[in-house]
Amino acid sequence: MTHSSDSSIPRGTGAYSRAIKYVIILTLALIAAIGTLKMIPVATTPQSLSSPILNHPAEQSTAASARELGPVVAMTNSGNLDFAMNWVNSLRRVGVREWIIFATDEHTLGQLQKRVGSADAQKIRRMPKSVYSGKSDKQHYQYRSAGWTEMMHSVPRLLRWLAFEEIKGPVLYSDTDIVWLDHPYSAFPADLRRFDLVASVDGRVFEANPTECPEDGSFCGGLMYLQHSDRIAKLLDDWEIEITRSADGKNQPAYNAAISANRKTSGLKVHTLDCAAYVNGWRAFCPDIVSRKKKFTCKFAWSSYQNRSPVMIHATYTVGKDLKIERLKKRGLWRPYSTIDVELNSS
């Protein structure tokens, strides 16, 4: 049956109809081609270290670029396993896969490998005896014990071994009483290669200018990024020498003395991390802090001067395992047995 509307189409429109068909066919072919292209894997070029990506955690690069920047590493003993797990779980929550913990002995190695699970067991490694050869009894490893202090003194040896023998590249060293709230590299300088050392401030930031992070402040021996360079090799050697020279053998004063000397003698280039991003205990826990010797009490509302969200909280200015746990729990940051997301705001 012929519809009445067909009879009204002029014969001269045959060429027009064929043109419409060709347009439709070409359009369908183009759509199919686009669909095929979308299925083809696109090769990605790793971002350079000068890329602004370091300042944009939502655009963090692939695992290849993370390896280029270097892994996040820590060390632990059997008296510190819960802190080690809290550290690991915080890194998991912010999507960091490139991390390593070095255990001081076989017992610690086995215990921690079980706790992280089979998928990450290879990231728990034994510290070489050339770096640390202390005792392995539990009493010796209690927080602030002689064994704990000995382990802390081995940090420059561990870092030298890592940067120049094991990894042979840059490395980010972190204490295990740090809780990561964002990707560790998210507030690093975009021109990272300009610096030998990227350091965080552990000193009491001046109340007269609370947004200022002093370039020559007291640097923290528990968070540092080291390049693979001759100047870093010398810094680590001098740090170890300074530990043996000092009367009390404290790790952090020796680290700062070595930095000061190497800035003058070898041209060591240091970048100071933003205090509002890499938050120490003085800023995080005030006004809870009261010196054991009553020399100072923190009563300053640092939180009102936070001009950005923190990348991490470091439980410094908090002496003793129980007090560290208490302060982290109060802020929802103590999760050694769970990897679920937590409320990061202070209670």
Burial label for 188, CB within 10 Å (0-12, 13-18, 19+), is buried
- d(CA 343, CA 347) in angstroms, rounded, equals 9
Residue 280 amino acid letter: N
Q: Is 238 helix (H, G, I), strand (E, B) or coil?
A: helix
Residues of the chain with pLDDT under 70: 1-67, 134-150, 204-217, 247-249, 288-297, 299-300, 338-347
Residue 199 amino acid letter: A
Where does residue 168 fall: left (phi above 0), alpha (psi -120 to 50 degrees), or beta otherwise? Answer: left
The pLDDT of residue 319 is 81
What are phi and psi for residue 197, nearest 5 degrees? Answer: -130, 130
The pLDDT of residue 231 is 98
- Start-end of H helices in the chain: 14-39, 63-69, 81-93, 106-116, 146-153, 155-161, 230-245, 251-265, 281-285, 321-330
pTM (2 decimals)? Answer: 0.75
- d(CA 257, CA 60) in angstroms, rounded, equals 35
The pLDDT of residue 340 is 43
**Residues making up the chain, counted from first to last:** 347
CB 144 within 8 A of CB 251: no
CB 292 within 8 A of CB 319: yes
Q: Which residue has the tokens 């079980």?
A: 114
The pLDDT of residue 194 is 94
- d(CA 82, CA 325) in angstroms, rounded, equals 10
What DSSP element (H or E) covers 99? strand 99-103
What DSSP element (H or E) covers 2? none
- Give me the sign of the Cα torsion angle 230, 149, 88, 125: positive
Q: Is 202 helix (H, G, I), strand (E, B) or coil?
A: coil
Q: Domain 62-330's class?
A: alpha beta
Q: Domain limits of the chain?
A: 62-330
The pLDDT of residue 275 is 86
The pLDDT of residue 62 is 36
CB 328 within 8 A of CB 315: yes
What are phi and psi for residue 313, nearest 5 degrees? Answer: -120, 130
